[in-house]
Every structure is written in structure tokens, then in C-alpha cells.
Amino acid sequence: MNGSGKYTRKDVIGHLIALPAFAAAIAMAAAPAQAKSSQAAMKYQKSPKNGQKCSGCKFFVAGASKTANGTCKVVDGSISPNGWCMAYSPR
């Protein structure tokens, strides 16, 4: 605003530029966490494939013990440390 109480052209342009960025930030904060893929969609299997298995994958979250099922950051459900899916990524 300028001294006479009116918005200057610069004020208006500044707000027009800031608004979409603010709206995008709100939308991102409100969006639910990215849903995981289903085991079927990722062709998950409970056995290793070509020496690759979940326990050696960077997405695997280990269970209570070394042999217990854990979870996966990208695939839904209970995941065997000896499992495998097409998203396998070595640690």
C-alpha cells in the first residue's frame, strides 16, 4: 500500500504471484501420504528372485527379528525378508 491507503500496482502484482505458491503449499500439506502399491501390482512374491530379496532392498523395513516379516516403504502389507518384487532396489 502507498501512503494514501491505496494498493499500488507493485502490491497487487506481488500478491498475485504469492497466491498460487501459497495455495500449492496448502494443497501439499493437506494431501494424504502417497499410497503404497499393492503386492499384486508390484508382482510381489514370497521367495527371492535371482538372488535378490527384500532384506537386501533399500525399501524394506525389518520386522521384530531377522526372519520375521516386516513392511515395505513402497508395497503394501506384510513383507517377507525373503520376498521380492519388481521395485527391488539394492541397498
- Binding region for ligand SF4 (CB under 6 A): 42, 44, 54, 57, 59-60, 72, 74-75, 79, 83-85, 87-88
Query: Smaller CB distance to ligand SF4: residue 4 or 50?
Result: 50
5 backbone φψ class: left, alpha, beta (φ>0; ψ -120 to 50): left
**CB of 18 or CB of 41, closer to ligand SF4:** 41
Residue 31 beta carbon to ligand SF4: minimum distance, rounded to whole angstroms = 22
Q: Where are the alpha helices (DSSP H) in the chain?
A: 9-30
Alpha-carbon distances of 50 from 47, 64, 75, rounded to whole Å: 10, 26, 20
Percentages helix, strand, coil for the chain (3-state, rounded to 5) are: 25, 15, 55
* Nearest to ligand SF4 of 31, 74 (CB atom): 74
Tell me the closest approach of the beta carbon of residue 34 to ligand SF4, in angstroms: 14
Write out the three cell numbers for 77.
502389507
Shortest reach from residue 68's CB to ligand SF4, in Å: 14
